Amino acid sequence: MPLKESKTLKQKLLDKDLVIGSWITLAHPAIAEIMAGSGFDWLAVDLEHSVITIREAEEMIRVIDLNGLVPLVRLTSNNSDQIKRVMDAGSHGVIVPMVNCAKDAELAVQAVKYPPFGKRGFGLARAQGYGNRFKEYMEWQEKNSVVIVQVEHIDAVNNLEEIFGVDGVDGYMIGPYDLSGSMGIPGQFDHPDLLEAMEKIRMVATKFNKTGGIHVVEPDAHQLRQAIKEGQKFIAYSVDIRMIDQVCREGLDYVKELRK
């Protein structure tokens, strides 16, 4: 829990501010420290598509937090036990995969919030200042903890009004690969059916005043600019492994040309 915040992520989402973050899948604090110093607004420790342990996640959360960024965790699944542990470790919120109905959203919100707003168990850990800031944390989590639902299945698109109607859902993120896959058109991002689904998401989000965005998978500045131009506000820009891979390949491609 930050002692001072000029403007919380929750407030930025409410105000429709542009916030850009990224995923961390490599379990080394230096990765978090380097990315935290590059200008992102938030960083998410990705437990869904990595082998990061809960112990390693705590270290990453700590590094992100102490560098003045918002630490989030993308969960392996909508699991209340895991949510409790990453929140106690100091995450400011969770990004929940495969939220396909209102019940899924309700379970996530209840796991993040303490009673009477939720069902999260009480404990003393890093988030609560190891017991020294329990009261302050109680107030903070009620007002500022964040729940982001991932819209990554056609079922979610069809149930979006019910999902966005759940009190405590602060925003959403579209998973384009999974969404297109659930529609039988994996990776076909220009397919008319996917474009129609994307437009429906935007319309329902506007109706319910929900801020959302998309994962721009490749570290491509043009794609990032396009997402911003389209009105996306909560954007995950690439992922650590893709950034490293692309920079290595670009440099070596240049060398290959010189060797010809």
Domain borders along the chain are 9-259
3-state secondary structure of 182: helix
Beta bridge partners of 147: 94
Average pLDDT, stretch 116-143? Answer: 96
Active-site annotation, residues:
49
Residue 4: pLDDT band with limits 50, 70, 90: low
pTM: 0.93
Average pLDDT, stretch 163-188? Answer: 95
pLDDT tens sequence across 52-72: 999 999 999 999 999 999 999
pLDDT of residue 3: 47
Q: How far is CA 132 from CA 1, 2, 8, 123, 138, in A?
A: 12, 13, 22, 12, 12
| CATH class, 9-259 region | alpha beta
Beta bridge partners of 216: 237
Averaged pLDDT score across all residues of the chain: 95
pLDDT of residue 1: 56
Euclidean distance between CA atoms 109 and 132, whole angstroms = 25
Residue 25: pLDDT band with limits 50, 70, 90: very high
Residue 2: pLDDT band with limits 50, 70, 90: low
Average pLDDT, stretch 7-21? Answer: 96
Polymer length in residues for the chain: 260
- Are the C-beta atoms of 99 and 108 separated by less than 8 Å? yes
Average pLDDT, stretch 120-148? Answer: 96
- Residue 5 in this model has a pLDDT that exceeds 70: no
